[in-house]
Structures are given as structure tokens and as C-alpha cells.
Amino acid sequence: MRELAGKAAFVTGAASGIGLAMATAFAREGMKVMFADIESSALDKAVDALRAGGADVHGVVCDVADPASVDRAAEASFRTFGNVHVVCNNAGVAGGGGIDQISVDDWRWVIDVNLMGVVHSIRSFLPHTRAHGEGGHIVNTASMAGMNAGLGFSPYSAAKFAVVSLSEGLSAQLKPLGIGVSVLCPSYVRTRIGESGRNRPQHYGPPRQLDPASPMAAVVAEIARRLEAGLDPASVAARVLAAIHDDQLYVFTHPGMRAEVEDRFAAILAAMDAVSA
């Protein structure tokens, strides 16, 4: 999509972090933006801040793990803006991993938000975008954790690998319809994803309490340190804007992660060569 001014966007997880940065960048491009988030107080604050600067933005409370909630958010967007052109499926949570304590509730929560949240949004918005015929773009937030298994046995990595695959398949099917697809794969960014348990619904049970002396506790502490020193979300949003303008499928933000991807691909190619030898 070369021209974004005057068009409408829908962004999940828009009250903070990468979602807020993308929604802000869209508004500055002259787009109308629906902010969707599960955290109502943060959502109101974000919308009010952009409106104070004259942006045409609105907010809707949305739990992406609940398909009915996503349907309601989509209908609110259509009523407010008419046609919606850019859909950013960005809401995500961090959950437990590792092999020492495998919590089914942790897996369900992370998969429901990080993977099924993307599916629910595509199901709610894609028929509308196809019908209005004005073209559009879908941005799915994955992660470098969807390109390599550096986090080990983890619902987060499993969901992000699935989002990469989903986006690749969706891109091939939608390109002939004039609808672009991008999959965003950042590494460490200064967001509050490490605190995502604050919004965990009760039906998933309480978050797992880590033993401070366990290896996993050390991993979590290191991830928190890297997030604090991570990339500015505004830099990620700038890359997303460029990807939408240029119809790029893969959006990377951390060139230093190239070596880890190369190691994985080299192992895959070596295994393929072993079969053909």
C-alpha cells in the first residue's frame, strides 16, 4: 500500500509497547486508527494522548483470545470508520516454558493469545477487506523466537513459529487479491511483555511461581534485563511502515540475530543433503 493517509487501521495490543508505537505511527501518517487492548485504563490513556494531538483515533476493549470479543471490536471499527485497510495482529503475552514444570494452563493462555488471537482477527476482518475491494495489508507480530528455538521448549516459541507459517501461507493466497501480508519478527524490544501476567484471565489459573534458585528463574531474569535494554518500539514501527509501503513479507529489526537463523538453516540443509547423498 503506497498511500495510507485517509485509510483506517486496527491494531491489537495498542495500549503499550510495539502496538502503541505502530498505532501512533499510523496516526502520524494521517490514518484513522482503532486501538484495541484488553487493558482498559491503559487503552483510554493512549487514545486520549493521541486525540489531544488531533489524531482521529478510537479505542475498544478486546480480548483477542475470545473470538466473540474480536468480532465485537471489528464491528465497532466498521461502524466508526467504514472500510478498514490495515490490520495489525500484535497482542501477545509471555508465558512459562522449559521441561521442569509443564503447565497446560500456561500453554493454553499463550497459544490462545499469540496464535489464536491472530486467527480470530483474520477471520473477523478478512471477509470485510476482500469485500470492499480497496486493497489492504495484514501485519502479524511474531518474533525471532519464531525463527529459531533459542528459548527451548516454550509455548511462546511454538506460537510464534506458527504465526510465521500462517503469515507465509496467507501471503501467497492474498497477494492476487491486492492484500499484502507482513510478519514482524523482532528480538528484544523495550515493552512490558515480561509483565503480561497482569492481564491473565482467571480461567487460565494463576501464573506459575518460579523457584528463585531454578535455572528457569535465571532465564527469566536475563530476558527481563535484555528487554529493558532493548530496541525502542518506535524503531520497530518505522520498519513496519516501510514493509507496508513496499509490500514486504518478512520484517526484521535486529540484524545481529542473523547468525542464529543461519545456524538453524544450515542444520536443516545439512540434514537434507544427508538424505540425498
Active site (catalytic) residues:
156
CA distance 10 to 22: 10
Burial of 274 (0-12, 13-18, 19+ CB in 10 A): exposed
C-alpha 249, offset from chain centre: 14
CA distance 23 to 45: 13
Order of all β-strands in the sheet with 57-61: 57-61, 32-37, 8-12, 86-89, 136-141, 179-185, 250-252
Q: Which three cell numbers stand for residue 263?
A: 545456524
Local structure of residue 23 (DSSP, 8 states): H
The alpha carbons of the chain give a radius of gyration, in whole angstroms, of: 19
CA distance 110 to 210: 17
H helix or E strand, kind and range, residue 185: strand 179-185
End-to-end CA distance of the chain: 45
Closest CA to 119 of 80, 65, 52: 65
Buried/exposed 210-220: b ≥16 CB within 10 Å, e otherwise: beeeeebeebb
